[in-house]
Amino acid sequence: MRKADKATNTNNAAVAPRPKAPITKNRQRLAALTPSGDSLLQLRFRDGSSVLTGDDEDRLKAMANKVAQTEARLQLKAYAAGNGNDTSKARRLSLSRALAVRSFLIENGLRSTRIDVRALGISRDGGAPDRVDIVLLGR
């Protein structure tokens, strides 16, 4: 038998199933926030505005403190009211809103690499037109 044949024969042994990872404190904190993929927080904006209110900032700070203790990623889905003739304006406004939220989160301790931005423009999901949904993505 050649050396190469012996090497392949020794690798055919059965592999034991991998044990499940223990639940860590970070995973427990993450579970306490919301199930992965669900909206963690929704911020509403005034028509044509991308300014965060004091109440929005308070809610964002509380959320940032909870998320900072985990390894979770966030996705910001931003929307803006508009009509079918001017989707570009709605997309720009939604981007401005998402970037305002992202900047605030970064100023409050979250790394920029943990935040994804999606400027979706006109809402087609039946939700409020002027909003940013913050979605927990897990790792």
Cβ neighbours for 33, distance < 8 A, ≥ 6 positions apart: 40, 66, 67, 70, 72, 136
Q: Is residue 11 part of a domain?
A: no
Residue 86 above 50 pLDDT?
yes
Residue 27, domain member (yes or no): no
| Mean pLDDT, rounded, for 98-121 | 96
* Structural domain range at position 120: 39-138
Q: What pLDDT digit, counting tens, does each position of 23-72 carry?
A: 444 444 443 444 445 678 999 999 999 999 999 999 999 999 999 999 89
101 domain residue, yes or no: yes
Give pLDDT, residue 93. 97
Whether residue 9 lies inside any domain: the answer is: no
Question: How many domains does the chain contain in total?
Answer: 1
State the DSSP string of 67-120. Answer: HHTS--EEEEEEE----TT-HHHHHHHHHHHHHHHHHHHHHTT--GGGEEEEEE
Summarize pLDDT for 111-138 with one digit per residue, the tens: 999 999 999 999 888 889 999 999 998 7
